[in-house]
Amino acid sequence: MKIMAIVLAAGQGKRMKSKLYKVLHPVCGKPMVSHVLNAVKQASCERAVIIVGHGADAVRTTLGDSAEYAFQAEQLGTGHAVMQAKDLLGQEDGVTVVICGDTPLVRTETIEAMIAQHTAQGAAATVLTAVFPDPSGYGRVVRGENGDVERIVEHKDCNPEEAAVREINTGTYCFDNRKLFAALEFVTNSNAQGEYYLTDVIGILKAQGERVGASVASDIAEAIGVNDRVALGEAERLMRHRINEKHQLNGVTIIDAGNTYIGADVTIGADTVLYPGTVLRGNTSIGSDCVIGPGAEITDTVIGSGTTIRHSVSENAHIGDDCNVGPFAYLRPGTKLGRHVKIGDFVEIKNAVIGEHSKVPHLSYVGDAIVGTGVNIGCGAITANYDGYNKSVTEIGDDVFIGSNANLIAPVKIGNGAYVVAGSTITHNVADNDLAIARERQVNKPGYADKLRARAKAKKERGSE
């Protein structure tokens, strides 16, 4: 049996009061609509059609060709929205899951259970429902005497008796595809909001003598529809908890889960420990036995195993096994650290490769550089990679010693085993195993400090007379 999905994502989301279209608001770093699309795809939906309208281009850019698109020019209601998929799906036989782009917490397993029940019961439609302590704002599920679903009534259309129902429509359904499109033809907009409601299809199918089932979600958190920033905050909190728990069950220690923020697509190996204030974003992947945090902001970074990163920021970097980063290091895009590299305090690395067992322990800037293995870069040494117009490369061979406060003026090459004396400003290449010194020779004037003090004292006394 063919399974398809329609994701409703054409609304503007006025209640968000945002320039960003509602379904593109991120939850744990990932747009709501991407969460929803992932969930339906993993529930083996072969085709997924996204209904776009407001922000159509932005939604298309975000989801790319992982889905098909149907355009709803005017937002006349959820039923009208589904109708826009008729050209694409109308001729298919099978089951169609309809889901809202603003319900990011619906799980794949829940969709699968709904589809299984739907097929087992031979239903024309099955609604995913939830029982809420406070059902305000949601459509109410009205059941008949035998417990069958009779119809769904929108909050604004409820009489007092219907308003008291606490079982709500989560906005996720599955339908017999042909019966869905046939029933949509009968939907009108004679209701409180003047919209074509998808929810009316339930009553229409029921009146046609079809079987309509309900699958009750066990976890009501899954049913949250994000219409405003309060719900967005709540969805974020619930998703964060879910993600943290997944990693904990996989063997990651999270010292304070309430203070640890892990993006939806981050991967972490077993026996890694996350300290509070850790923020992991995007396509970050972390190996096993790492210690991350306290205070780490890590974006799109690949980290090996056995590495420690404390109080540091990393973006678009590769960090090898057994490295030690921070406190207070800034790894910018293009940083590649080999194994056993130490990057210490107040060090910035940008677009640079640092070889195995090399150390940049304190107060350095290494940018646009290739650094070999076993190199020691002294405190305060920097690469001067920018002349105000062009960026140039610094190459440092293996086993090089760069003394403290050296300035390496790029483009420049330091050969293997070379030694750059502290305080040197290096403008010319240094050959293998050479020692380079580039600074004024020191002059000592015997006893001159005493003379200096005597002179200063005399001057002060003259001034105070």
Give the residue numbers annotated as catalytic, written as ranges. 362
Sign of CA dihedral 72, 78, 83, 87: positive
Contact of 214 with 141, CB cutoff 8 Å: yes
Comparison of 15 and 332: residue with beta carbon closer to Ca ion: 15
β-strand 140-143 against 95-100: which pairing, if any? Answer: unpaired
Say which residue the tokens 């799980």 belong to: 107
Q: Residue 227 CB, nearest distance to Ca ion (Å)?
A: 5
Nearest one of 438, 383, 436 to 411, comparing CA atoms: 383
Q: Residue 140 CB, nearest distance to ligand UD1 (Å)?
A: 8
Residue 48 structure tokens? 């997924």
**CA distances to 246, 248, 255, 289, 324 from 277, in Å:** 19, 17, 10, 18, 18
DSSP string for 324-360: EE-SSEEE-TT-EE-TT-EEEETEEEEEEEE-TT-EE
Side chain identity at 74, as an amino acid letter? E
Among 198, 268, 349, 382, binds ligand UD1 (CB under 6 A): 198
Number of H helices, E strands in the chain: 10, 39
Assess 127 for contact with ligand UD1 (CB under 6 A): no
Q: In this structure, how many other beta carbons lie within 10 angstroms of the beta carbon of residue 187?
A: 22
Q: Residue 218 CB, nearest distance to ligand UD1 (Å)?
A: 17
**Candidates 114-122, 192-200, 205-213, 300-308 — which segment interacts with ligand UD1 by CB under 6 A?**
192-200
Q: Residue 54 CB, nearest distance to ligand UD1 (Å)?
A: 8
Among 34, 96, 177, 199, binds ligand UD1 (CB under 6 A): 199
CA gap 356, 375 in Å, rounded: 9
CA gap 149, 254 in Å, rounded: 43
Say which residue the tokens 């005597």 belong to: 454
Say which residue the tokens 């298919």 belong to: 92
Assess 31 for contact with ligand UD1 (CB under 6 A): no
| Three-class DSSP category at 260 | strand
Assess 126 for contact with ligand UD1 (CB under 6 A): no
Q: Write out the binding residues for Ca ion, residues 71-130 only, by CB under 5 A.
A: 102
Alpha helices in 8-159 (DSSP H): 32-42, 56-63, 78-83, 86-89, 108-121
Q: Residue 59 CB, nearest distance to ligand UD1 (Å)?
A: 10
Comparison of 84 and 299: residue with beta carbon closer to ligand UD1: 84
Assess 197 for contact with ligand UD1 (CB under 6 A): yes
Among 31, 47, 151, 154, binds ligand UD1 (CB under 6 A): 154
78 binds, among ligand UD1, Ca ion, none (CB under 5 to 8 A by kind): ligand UD1
Size of the site for ligand UD1 (CB under 6 A): 31
β-strand 401-402 against 382-384: which pairing, if any? Answer: unpaired
Q: Write out the binding residues for ligand UD1, residues 82-111 only, by CB under 6 A.
A: 100-103
Among 77, 104, 225, 287, binds Ca ion (CB under 5 A): 225
76 binds, among ligand UD1, Ca ion, none (CB under 5 to 8 A by kind): ligand UD1
Comparison of 52 and 292: residue with beta carbon closer to ligand UD1: 52
Among 39, 48, 51, 375, binds ligand UD1 (CB under 6 A): 51
Among 3, 4, 11, 360, binds ligand UD1 (CB under 6 A): 11
Q: Residue 234 CB, nearest distance to ligand UD1 (Å)?
A: 13
The residue ranges that bind Ca ion (CB under 5 A) are: 102, 225, 227
Residues that bind ligand UD1 (CB under 6 A): 8-11, 23, 51, 53, 72, 75-78, 80-81, 100-103, 138-139, 152, 154, 168-171, 197-199, 225, 227
